[in-house]
Amino acid sequence: MKGAAIRRTQNMGEALAKKVLLIGWDAADWKVATPLLEQGLMPALDDFINHGVMGNLATLQPILSPMLWNSIATGKRADKHGIHGFTEPDPNSGGVRPVTSTSRKVKAIWNILTQRGYKPHVLGWFAGHPAEPINGISVSDLYPLATKPHDKPWPLPPSAVHPENLRDTLAELRMHPAEVDPSGILPFVPQAAKVNQKEDKRLSIIAKLLAENCSIHNAATWILQTQPWDFMAVYYNAIDHFCHGFMPFHPPRMEGIPEDQYELYKGVVSGAYRFHDMMLHTLLQLAGPETTVILCSDHGFHPDHLRPRGIPDEPAGPAVQHRRFGIICMKGTGIKQDARIYGATLLDITPTILTVMGLPVGQDMDGRVMVQAFEEPPAIERIPSWEEVPGECGMHPADLQVDAESADAVLKQFAALGYIAPTDDQKKAVEIALRESKYNLARAYMDKGEPSQALPMFVELYKEQPYQTRFAQHLAQCYFSLRRIEDAKRILTESMNRPLETPEQEQGSARRALPLPEAQAGVAPATPEASMPRPWGDWMIGNIHFEEGKMDEALQCLLRAERSEPRFPDLHVRIGQTYLRLKRVDDAGRAFRKALEIDGDSPEAHLGLATASLRKKDNEQAVEEALAAVGLQHYLPMGHFCLGVGLARLGHFHRATLAFETALTILPGFMRARRWLIAINRRPGGDRTKAAHHRKLIAEMIQRRSVAFNT
């Protein structure tokens, strides 16, 4: 370790914390946690946020946990880290296997820290098997799974723990579902005695989730108490699994949920959060006051009127229940106290940890340091890429074999959650895995703003299976994003006129009654007359008319879509934008407010209201709505622009300048923002040099565009 200690002191900035603890709560959502905090039912989390910062954490598309947790661990999107779904072809068996730690093609934070001589530990991370040979303890996500009855031997899977000399010690810390005392179920289901357990297996599901997460927690607390450490990442999957199983019973009662079932299970989701709060209390006590602690989730989970009415008949269909904002909390030395942060994304976690630990951020990382969390902005060092730094980092070779029994246990868990369809046909399973990986990667490129990268994948998917509505939807959306309007029209026409697929054709068409592929507002069977749902087609055609400047035709299509599917917030946003183009500002405001009634966390709706307020010269309202928009989604240049306009009109020129400059850091070619900066700096007391600088840049941009147009 002497060499490691030397490496640790070289080329390092000043560390802001002695230790960092990263806690992952899959699917945790403020919409569920906040009422519990207000009732005093999550005291550990309440104390945490009172002594630190909190906020929303924006997720990525597609909202699939294997992709997201590896983005959290690397600071990189899926196109870089290489995990594109739940399964992948297994080169050894000829079938499929769950994504593993060997699927990740870049260094995670614990690999970087290993390389720098730190003592990192990681427990239960999604796609964490086989356990990586880092300079600390690695416990894979297969560690807690009970694959045998309680009266049978229950050996740890091979490679579930690193180092090997801790296998026996950590194996003893696991909890079998059969060991969950009936009294342990009562906080979740007080009337558990009324459940007919021969017909209703939900109590056994609760026991399984409690045992698995207690196993991970036991290992984490043992390490904190007995082992040296600089960093620990521990992941709990229970909230996500509890929500997939029991969110339909969460208050308020959903239509179609029997009252007796509702009364039995209405407290399960809340119980899951309180269970996590108790574990959080222990972790914080053991970590100590000098540790910087980050608590985050990869996405949220709809707990209210946005809960879907059904699940799409497609692989990973249950993801429709996920919400695009998770949670972020952070506390430690130099961190603000009792404050909110805005605009954070899950890509920001690793860059922030590196900065806290005095290490440079890779320029190839897609996230940024959450500087607003700190009392004083930290010094941020950068290197081109951690992938180029040589030396042992504790990653497995990509061709490492995973034992078949362990892989099968994970596949069964994915199937139980509805993320994959079990099949004995290995060839078909491989085809599905490759297709879904391509589909998810294409969607990730769309989310990244690179539709040109996504296009060939969507074209291939649509060519292979044109009857799958989701492929047609995304291909049309991709063409639309590329302004290839005629191609988008062609796909829409083909899909809306194509007969429904026959029962013999592969399942997975996701026949939605929703306007957008990513829609989270609910899912219902399509109308019987066409394979593409009519509301979605109307939505897309309305968007095309909007881009073509045919506002009356666009409005007609969008209003028709609204009559079929009134619960989709982005549809109301587009209706509001259309009204703005038609100079019907009051109607636009009503449409944007309707979107916010459905989803109060829609940055697009807040931005629409900010724009409408500026049109009506209601500058204070415009500033309020623009702040809400950029608080939810920082990378929103038009939001910062509207904020700047409102502030400038109110005479707050310094703050307006910061808003316009922020818009330009996101979108350097935003000429309207530069023109406002020219106007501000030409005022008495302004900086004439800056005004001249922006005039010069605008002239250069106009010249470049003129040359490009003429060539």
**Tens digits of residue pLDDT in 155-190:** 898 999 999 999 999 999 999 999 999 999 999 999
CA distance 157 to 145: 9
pLDDT at 371 over 60: yes
Q: Could you give the percent of the chain with pLDDT greater than 90?
A: 73
Three-class DSSP category at 88: strand
Q: Tell me whether the CATH fold assigned to 2-410 matches the one assigned to 449-559.
A: no
Closest CA to 330 of 296, 366, 365: 296
> What pLDDT band is residue 553 in, cutting at 50, 70 and 90?
very high
CB atoms within 10 A of CB 597: 12
The predicted structure's pLDDT at residue 701: 86
> Per the omega criterion (within 30 degrees of 0), is the bond before 62 cis?
yes
CA distance 92 to 57: 38
pLDDT at 22 over 60: yes
The predicted structure's pLDDT at residue 12: 57
Contact 346, 75 (CB under 8 A): no
* Locus of tokens 């290993």: 114
pLDDT at 517 over 70: no
What angle is formed at CA 411 by the lines to CA 410 and CA 416, rounded to 5 degrees?
95
- Integer angstrom CA distances of residue 575 from 324, 551, 559, 601: 22, 10, 7, 18
Closest CA to 478 of 530, 434, 543, 433: 543
What angle is formed at CA 137 by the lines to CA 99 and CA 295, rounded to 5 degrees?
75
The predicted structure's pLDDT at residue 498: 75
Ordered by start, the domain boundaries in the chain are 2-410, 449-559
The predicted structure's pLDDT at residue 529: 32
What kind of fold does domain 2-410 have according to CATH?
Alkaline Phosphatase, subunit A (3.40.720)
CA distance 670 to 698: 9
CA distance 28 to 9: 37
> Per the omega criterion (within 30 degrees of 0), is the bond before 187 cis?
no
Element (H, E) at 300: strand 300-301
Query: Which residue has better confidence, 658 or 424?
Result: 658
State the burial class of residue 136 (Cβ atoms within 10 Å of its Cβ: 0-12, 13-18, 19+).
buried
- Integer angstrom CA distances of residue 358 from 55, 117, 326: 24, 13, 27
Question: What is the total residue count of the chain?
Answer: 711
Class of 449-559 per CATH? mainly alpha
The tokens for 543 are: 């968007």
pTM of the shown model: 0.89
User: What are the backbone dihedrals phi and psi of residue 43, each rounded to the nearest 5 degrees, phi first?
Assistant: -65, -35
The tokens for 206 are: 């609760």
Type of residue at 519 = A
